[in-house]
Amino acid sequence: MVKLEHIKENIRDAKEIAEKLNFPIILDGGSLLGAYRDKGVIKGDEDDVDFAVPYEVAEFKMLQIIKEFEERGFELFRLRPTVMTFKRNETKIDLLFYKWSEDWGCNYLTLYHDKKPFALIVPAGYWLDLSEIEFLGIKLKCPKEIERYLEWRFGDWRTPVLRPNFGFQSYLENDYNKELTQCL
């Protein structure tokens, strides 16, 4: 059973590491949805917290990030060019790296859905115009236009959908995704 205190501790440590190493983290995915809609962790999504992070951070600070997380008792669980996952106390922190593209705005390539790569294309304005949200008593950066972002990301974000029925809605099958995935 995942304990809420473990999730909070992981979030606090991730935020402190980002501040120490001077890089931004943006609450994203189911974590952002839970913070906004449910004012907490979404049922069925208690095992990880998602943060969007600029790709340049991975290029220039990867070893420092790994060292800082390991010094705080995290285990490096997953390391790919687009995601770093750290695990501690039955919960994970996902750092999802996004790139800026002149043609596409912000995007990150990630691996989900039967390990097939797809690109999540984030309109640049969402991650350039930020606000703050409280998640489990901790203030974190998030898109300023949060409801528009959640609608873009999840479709009907107001209706809870439990795993394994969760899907990434409209952008999985669109032509932009197919073309961008081939380019990356």
Q: What does each of the 184 residues of the chain score in pLDDT, given as a tens digit?
A: 578 999 999 999 999 999 999 999 999 999 999 999 999 999 888 889 999 998 888 889 999 999 999 999 999 999 987 889 999 999 999 999 888 777 766 666 554 445 565 667 788 788 888 999 999 999 999 999 999 999 988 889 999 876 544 444 444 444 544 444 444 4
Number of helical H runs and strand E runs in the chain: 6, 9
Query: Whole-prediction pTM value?
Result: 0.84
Domain around 89: 4-99+126-161
CATH code where residue 42 lies: 3.30.460.40
**pLDDT, position 1:** 59
Distance CA 7, CA 66 (A): 19
Does residue 118 fall inside a structural domain? Answer: no
Does residue 175 fall inside a structural domain? Answer: no
Number of domains into which the chain is organized:
1
